[in-house]
Amino acid sequence: MGTARIEPFPMNRRCYDMKSFRWFALAACALPIAAQAHRPLTLHDDIHRALIRAMAQVDRYDSSSDGQPGGRTRRLLGQLLARPGELYSPLVKSPTFTNEVWWPGFVDTFTPQLQEQDVLGGLQRQLGLTKARPGIDIAVTPGDVAAFRGREVAASARKAGIDIDIFNKVLDMHSPRVVEAAHDAVALQMLRDDMARVPREQWTAYGIDAESYQRYMKAGHAHELRQGDTLYLSSLVATAVKTRGIALDASGEPQLPAAFRVARAAAAFKDRVGYYSGRPFCTGNAVHPDRPRDPSALDHNQPLCFIDATDRDVLRWFHHEARLEHRGLRIHENTHHSVERLTRILGILMPLMDLAAFVEVAEATATRELAESSALPSAEVEADAAESRAGALLCGIRAR
């Protein structure tokens, strides 16, 4: 079956010119190249981007070897996943690239307390290859199951890092609109965690607007939400997705990359609001044997067994769910406010959450860094091509 095309959402969706995109890609790095070179990496850093740099420097892979953009990442995924073309693929325990001569040197660029499996696990998590199986991938207590009203709900919500009071608040505000609820839940959680970690006197410098958070949590209905607060919350999520930054929770532990985090939150809300079909999606921690594993099943609006799906699988589903939710709201919702708010959120968010653009930004940034540091002379041409492809992807969305 052919690839389903998802048309852009009809909002103010700006397409970056290459000069501004180049600036964005470099400015998005958490630290300058020189600073990164003089300090060990941690699991808070962009491991994917660092690995692309290492691969390019030793010239182990050609990013255009398969004739498609994102070639290095595609090669990585082919080695990290046992069945890369299917939903629910398990991980490969020892990917081939870990036997390359450059791999031990790459691991040594991380802090000494991190072992090879820690680095590999961080890469798998940042690339969206991990699942949400209770007791295996994520800790879920009986209290969590009771609070979130479901084992699968609790697993996805915990992996998205959403507190129960925020989860219930946005559910009350937006149910059954799971995409809008997920956006707000992640934004509010990011804001709460920043308020807990950052000293109050630095809130303004860090762009922390506590009043937006307080107004939302006190609101009794979605119609009471201010447009300015919606734009502020959207900017928090959009910035996190664009920069590929690893958000920290209140205790300083790294969360999922923002795109996967929003998708996981949406999965939790979807399992919570329920389905029309009575057919089981999961059996224990695994997908039910009768459920399809071909990604084309998403074209027919087939739900996933979210706890056995990888974060990349869930993000693919999220794109389809967003389109369905937007279309259904326009047809059935009686108030203009709800349609306008969801359309505004999706117009900002969806162009940034395409998997291909997600990969291209990382590869464009890594190769540009190498070119500008003169570490790889041929990277200049490759970086220009990667930036061009990434810019095009940010201006047109395709579901993959």
* pLDDT per residue as tens digits for the range 56-94: 777 544 444 444 556 788 889 999 999 999 999 999 999
Contact predicate 318/262, CB 8 Å: yes
Cα–Cα–Cα angle for 273, 276, 281, rounded to 5 degrees: 80
Distance CA 267, CA 309 (A): 10
Distance CA 268, CA 290 (A): 22
pLDDT at 337: 56
Torsion angle defined by CA atoms of residues 197, 28, 265 and 166, in that order, rounded to the nearest 10 degrees: 30
332 has pLDDT over 80: no
Provide the token pair at 387: 């930036």
Give the phi and the psi of residue 91 in degrees, each rounded to 5: -85, 150
Distance CA 285, CA 288 (A): 9
Provide the token pair at 56: 């390019």
pLDDT at 38: 64
Contact predicate 131/308, CB 8 Å: yes
Residues 6+ apart with CB under 8 A from 144: 154, 158
Average pLDDT over residues 335-352: 72
At 59, which amino acid appears? D
Provide the token pair at 126: 């940042």
pLDDT at 243: 76
β partners of residue 41: 110
Give me the count of residues in the chain: 400
Per-residue pLDDT of 195-209, as tens digits, reads 999 999 999 999 999
3-class SS of residue 254:
strand
Q: Work out the burial of residue 397: count CB atoms within 10 Å of its CB; fewer than 13 is exposed, 13-18 middle, 19 or more buried.
A: buried
pLDDT at 355: 59
28 has pLDDT over 50: no
Residue for token digits 């998997």?
355
pLDDT at 67: 42
Per-residue pLDDT of 138-154, as tens digits, reads 999 999 999 999 999 99
Give the phi and the psi of residue 287 in degrees, each rounded to 5: -65, 145
Per-residue pLDDT of 213-243, as tens digits, reads 999 999 999 899 999 999 999 999 999 888 7
pLDDT at 398: 36
At 225, which amino acid appears? L
- Residue 250: how many other CB atoms lie within 10 Å: 14
Distance CA 178, CA 184 (A): 10
Is the backbone of residue 294 left (phi > 0), alpha (psi -120 to 50) or beta?
beta
Longest dimension (CA), the chain: 62
Beta strands, E only, the chain = 282-283, 286-287
Residues 6+ apart with CB under 8 A from 278: none
- Residue 72: how many other CB atoms lie within 10 Å: 25
Confidence band for 370, pLDDT divided at 50, 70 and 90: low
pLDDT at 353: 74
Taking only Cα atoms into account, the Rg of the chain, rounded to an integer number of angstroms, comes to 21
Provide the token pair at 219: 């609101």
Range 163-191 burial, b when 16+ CB lie within 10 A, else e: beebbbbbbebbeebbbbbbbbbbbbbbb
Contact predicate 339/329, CB 8 Å: yes
